[in-house]
Amino acid sequence: MSENGKSFGFTGKLGFVLATAGSAVGLGNLWRFPYLAEQYGGGAFILIYVILAITFGFTLMIAEVTIGRKTGKSCLEAFGSIDKKWKWVGWLAALVPAIIVPYYCVIGGWVTKYFVEYATGNGSEVNTSFFLGFMTCDLPGLFDNPVVWFIIFTIMVAAVVIVGVDKGIERVSKILMPLLLILLIITTIFALSMDGAMDGLSYYLVPKVEDISAGTFLGAVGQLFYSMSLAMGITITYGAYMKKDVDIEKSVRSVSLIDTGVALLAGLMIVPAVIAIGEPGNKGVGLMFMTLPKVFEAMPAGEFVAALFFLLVIFAALTSAISLMETLVYVLMDKAKMQRIPASILVFVFTIALGLLSCLGFGPLGDVFLLKEGMTFLDFFDFISNSILMPIVAALTCLFIGFVVGPKFITDEVESSGSFKSKKMFIVLVKWICPIALVLILLTGLLDFFDIFKI
Ligand code: PHE
């Protein structure tokens, strides 16, 4: 993104789709989706996720992109420019990246460490006990400390935001994103050919009703918004950069297909392998870092493939983290009238300060749990942003479209540059089904989370 919407615009449909997919495809797909799928019962989670993606994800992305394109403004201004009373929803949305970016960079640091281990020929040392020692800050060396890697990753993100090389990133994305996809497919095929992987495959693909709880819905909805970069103002800004003649429905469909496809593939690569390796169980945030090394270990030229793989994950994470950090820098430049460099430095310091809590939350701060037993700082920030703020912002966006401005506001704009095949479905979803379901999911999910009420 650039200083303002006017000096920068996507070239056409392809430009929009690639840039939005670049923001959407990130750690959400590769790291977060597989561990949630494993945690929430495999097939049951996948089924709910896909249904929600086709309905809620699609509807909300259309709504956000169109709000952006019609107003030509970022999320801070977009809501207020339509109706002053709704300005605060834009601010609420902009709060989400501030909570996510610090812990996103912590995971980015873990990925960077893994890349360096594999690239320097130390891949054979990477295993579960290595990871547990690393994440809990128990290893002695300076470069075996997760804080160091968290800072390195955050510096990389901030450096790009300071220089503002968005065009360069777009160009590199065009090569690296397809490469990531190819590597994902190769690793997945290999992981699925491991002994016992077929049992895992059925766990991953066959939904079991008893695995579905209110928490599954809350987890899936949060993941959906996170993965598609929704409910945090980003796609509104991207919509503002979209040319007036680009077909919105087709573009949104392509982005959601790419994003969901990559997530499903990443799950396919990791979840059956955990079962094949014989270590199922609730591994949470560490899943990718404990299971994948075993797949690479069993693979011919595994260390090389692993180094390449983690490099591409770094890249996917960087493009996403940059768009998150850029949003915050933009707010400071726009609202506090700061220059780009001081604004970037301020956001950098904030990221490090807040991220440190998440980074140390598995080690020195390991005894501190928030909200409930076992909830580390990282889990806490992840929960607040994904399971609480995003459903709220999403529901408010739907109500705003459905009842304040009316769905026609959106459908007219979509139809100004192409057909809107799902128009009827969009109207029913945005007006009724999404807001009602989101409120229900949020409430029952919270009751479930606090063990007050179980479905
Ligand atoms: N969608 C990104 C992911 O899946 C995360 C992200 C959210 C990036 C919002 C930018 C903006 O990792």
**What does the pLDDT read at residue 7?**
47
Q: Whose CA is nearest to atom 11 of ligand 1?
A: 229
DSSP for residue 26: S
Q: Which atom of ligand 1 is nearest to the CA of 228?
A: 1
Determine contact, residues 295/72, Cβ cutoff 8 Å. no
Residue 53: closest CA among 200, 259, 236, 235: 259
- List, for residues 337-383, the tens digit of each pLDDT value: 999 999 999 999 999 999 999 999 999 998 889 988 889 999 999 99
Q: CA-CA distance, 25 to 252, in Å (whole number)?
A: 14
Distance 324 CA to ligand 1 centre (A): 7
Give 334 Cα–ligand 1 centroid separation in angstroms.
Answer: 22
Report the 3 state secondary structure along 358-384. HHHCCCCCCCCCCCCCCCCHHHHHHHH
Give the residue whose CA is nearest to atom 8 of ligand 1. Answer: 320
Q: Which two tokens stand for residue 341?
A: 């460099």
Q: Could you tell me which residue, 442 or 175, shows the higher pLDDT?
A: 442
- 455 pLDDT above the threshold of 70: no
The residue whose two tokens read 């360069």 is 168
pLDDT band at 8 (very low <50, low <70, confident <90, very high): low
Pocket test for ligand 1, best of 1, 20, 23, 230 (most atoms within 8 A of CB): 23
47-77 pLDDT tens trace: 999 999 999 999 999 999 999 999 999 888 9
Amino acid letter for position 144: D
Q: Is the CB of 135 under 6 A from ligand 1?
A: no
Distance CA 21, CA 256 (A): 8
CA 440: distance to chain centroid? 23
> Cβ atoms within 10 A of the Cβ of 141, count?
7
Q: Are 372 and 408 in contact (CB under 8 A)?
A: no
Residue of higher predicted confidence among 113 and 203: 113
Residue 407 CA: distances (Å) to CA of 54, 245, 398, 418: 19, 20, 9, 17
Residue written as token pair 């070239």 = 11
Measured CA to CA in angstroms, residue 48 lies from 54, 120, 220, 303, 390 at distances of 10, 41, 7, 35, 18
**Residue of 35, 111, 169, 324 with the most ligand 1 atoms within 8 Å of its CB, for mutation:** 324
> Using an 8 Å Cβ cutoff, are 78 and 67 in contact?
yes
Which residue did the predictor score with more confidence, 327 or 71? 71
pLDDT above 70: percentage of residues in the chain: 95
Q: Tokens 């790419």: give the residue.
A: 258
Give pTM, 2 decimals: 0.92
Q: What DSSP string describes 53-112?
A: IIIIIHHHHHHHHHHHHHHT--HHHHHHHH-GGGHHHHHHHHHHHHHHHHHHHHHHHHHH
Atom of ligand 1 lying closest to residue 31 CA: 12
Cβ within 8 Å of residue 119, ≥6 positions away: 307, 311
Query: To 5 degrees, how large is the angle CA 96–CA 104–CA 314?
Result: 135
Q: How confident is the model at residue 430 (pLDDT cuts 50, 70, 90)?
A: very high
The answer to whether the beta carbons of residues 13 and 250 sit under 8 Å apart is yes
- Put residue 127 in one of left, alpha, beta given phi > 0 → left and psi -120 to 50 → alpha: beta
Query: Nearest 5°: phi and psi at 288?
Result: -60, -30
Considering only CA atoms, which residue is closest to atom 9 of ligand 1?
Answer: 229
The first and second tokens of residue 394, run together, are 């999403």
Could you tell me which residues come within 8 angstroms of residue 168 by beta carbon, excluding any fewer than 6 positions away?
none
